[in-house]
Amino acid sequence: MSVTAKPAQKPANPRFSSGPCAKRPGWTLDALADAALGRSHRAKIGKTKLQQAIDLTRDVLGVPADYRIGIVPASDTGAVEMALWSLLGQRPVDLLAWESFGSGWVTDVVKQLKIEARVFEAPYGALPDLAQIDFAHDVVFTWNGTTSGVRLPDGDFIPVDREGLTICDATSAAFAQDLPYDKLDVVTFSWQKVLGGEGAHGVIILSPRAVERLVTYKPAWPLPKIFRLTSGGKVIEGIFKGETINTPSMLCVEDYLDALNWAKSVGGFAGLKARADANAAAIAAWVAQTPAIDFLARDPATRSNTSVCLTYADPAVAALDDAGQQAFVKALTGLLEKEGVAYDIASYRDAPPGLRIWCGATVETADVAALTPWLDWAFAVVKADLAKAA
């Protein structure tokens, strides 16, 4: 095959966006036929469906029985902000950042809440030095860097007998990566990631230690209504029984229920993780035989199996300045979108120029395998155009 010959087969589903992500295989609007539309979320049917979503979340993820799970507003961002504003301030904070969203939490804690904090940062592609963390402090971190493709390899760096709380943004890790709940006091995610649900709703999981902090500590700042987890010094238990703080979309809740039931049908968490691992392995096999491309994550042990981030190592592309590399990636991804092969696979706007290919559980490995020859083709076409313009 010449470098300009198009591959014969296209992915059946070209949706490789890192959020909102591809719907589960076989999904149609018929899956939402039983949604409690036009009914109050506080009516029996609404509360029942919300409680089912909480129960199925616990079942699929294996969340301990004594941890509380709540559905909250504003996606994962809302869930993280709720934790930061409600729990921090009692003791110093250590903040870890190695990509865009972790950096956002640094800004909130340091500039908005103005809390005494130590910040441990690393460039895109690497992790900070985890040995520097003081677990007498509260610690805030992402588990999987959605914009860098760098994840924590495990929770070995977190002591079980820590004094502070660990607050973990796990939005692109939940349902695809092992999370050591005994070492995590707050876990947040949005169901729009690995399960391909609709946006705007977040989930917050609280350990008994986090609940104890809630009822024994009152922050110095006022809390907006959508952040309040306590009332009169007691936890608002209704939040963890399907009584949401504000009005949820019952259509989105039905979609989440459909995704959770599909998750159970493919083997629960183990099945979801295996699907993501297989997708990431298909990309890794292609990278291994493609000198022009490399993983942004330098250490194989830290490479994400969901938000797989790649950078171009080809000398002609690497020699371009940042604007030139951005233009190269824009041309390449635009060509693939025009062909109906891959949508939304350019790297995140703050990340180094390259590709970000979602490999979460709702993506089929056959589609990933069908995508890689098209990546070769598009690269050859755009590089040829670059040579002509030189």
Confidence at 389, pLDDT banded by 50, 70, 90: confident
Query: What are the beta bridge partners of residue 93?
Result: 117, 138
| H or E element, residue 70 | strand 68-73
| Mean of pLDDT over the chain | 97
Q: What pTM was estimated for this model as a whole?
A: 0.97
113-140: average pLDDT: 97
Measured at the CA of 313, the angle between CA 308 and CA 318, to 5 degrees, comes to: 120
pLDDT surpassing 80 at residue 139: yes
- Kindly state the percentage of the chain with pLDDT values over 90: 97
Domain 268-389 has CATH 3.90.1150.10: yes
Confidence at 4, pLDDT banded by 50, 70, 90: low
**CATH number of this structure's domain 34-264:** 3.40.640.10
pLDDT at residue 3, rounded to an integer: 58
Domain with CATH 3.90.1150.10 in the chain: 268-389
Domain with CATH 3.40.640.10 in the chain: 34-264
**Token pair for 38:** 């036009």
Nearest alpha carbon to residue 374 among 6, 44, 26, 22: 6
What are the pLDDT digits (tens) for 162-206?
999 999 999 999 999 999 999 999 999 999 999 999 999 999 999
26-32: average pLDDT: 98
What are the pLDDT digits (tens) for 329-356?
999 999 999 999 999 999 999 999 999 9
What are the pLDDT digits (tens) for 76-96?
999 999 999 999 999 999 999
pLDDT at residue 1, rounded to an integer: 39
pLDDT surpassing 60 at residue 2: no
Return d(Cα 207, Cα 22) in angstroms, integer: 30
